[in-house]
Amino acid sequence: MKNSLQAFTHGLLLALGLALLGYFISNGIVKIKELDRTVTVKGLAEREVPANIAIWPIRFNLAENDLNTLYSTIQNNTTEVINFLKDSGFKNEEISTSPPAIVDRQAEGYYDASRYKYRYTTDVVITVYTKNVNNVRETMDKLVDLGKKGIVIAAQNYDSRTEYIFTGLNNIKPEMVEEATILAREVAEKFAKDSNSKLGKIKKAYQGQFSIQNRDSNTPYIKKVRVVSTLEYYLSD
């Protein structure tokens, strides 16, 4: 009789233990599933900023049959262009001249006097590297003054176009990241409200790469800076 009572008691306690264990395991699974409830949102921050550096290549072409005359014209035209730039407010250290690239058509074996008027041709490039972006744009409008002196400035192409650069990204990066994060949270809060949930802590956060592009093809001196932050939040009831 005594042994039967002990066995019953032990069995009852074991059953209660298993039941409690099952409850806690079940409750734990529910909690884990609740932790798995998340929402992923993106926040976009954009700004328009002016370029703070300009690289302006000025190229002119020359052709002659006499090499000495060609070199003399190169020197004269280069001096005229540099003086023009200095008169426009650019400093010596902002102006650089590349060595002229002279092509001798006869030496290359395809010179035909009946087809080509000049034996020698050359390209001369004078480059302005400056932080005075506005002065570059203003001076471009005055290139006609060089034309009046017989210096024909070649049209810009892919290899010799003016380049505008923005180097102040580090100064605006923290504010833009903060802005993108705030916008992402606003989206997450709206989602949580619409789904009758509460927004929890951040589970994961990804900061996208910053991109700097021209605002459009007509205003390359104005840049559009863009960053997208991706955040994953926990949701709870």
Instruction: Note down the domain range covering 155.
Output: 53-165
CATH number at residue 181: 3.30.110.170
Asked if 201 and 144 sit in the same domain, the reply is: no
CB atoms near residue 236 (< 10 Å)? 12
Asked if 128 and 175 sit in the same domain, the reply is: no
Per the structure, the count of domains in the chain is 3
- Looking at 165, 196, 220, which one is the last position of a domain? 165
Instruction: Report how far residue 60's alpha carbon sits from residue 160's, in angstroms, rounded to the nearest whole number.
Output: 11
Asked if 8 and 109 sit in the same domain, the reply is: no
- Looking at 132, 165, 198, which one is the last position of a domain? 165
**Taking a C-beta distance cutoff of 8 angstroms, is the pair 102, 48 a contact?**
no
Specify the amino acid at residue 68: N
pTM of the model: 0.77
Asked if 177 and 125 sit in the same domain, the reply is: no
Mind listing the pLDDT tens digit of every residue in the chain (237 residues)?
Answer: 555 555 545 555 555 555 544 444 444 344 444 557 888 999 999 999 999 999 999 999 999 999 999 999 999 999 999 999 999 999 999 999 999 889 888 777 665 666 778 889 999 999 999 999 999 999 999 999 999 999 988 888 777 789 999 999 999 999 999 999 999 999 999 988 988 989 989 999 988 899 999 999 999 999 999 999 999 999 987
Asked if 118 and 189 sit in the same domain, the reply is: no
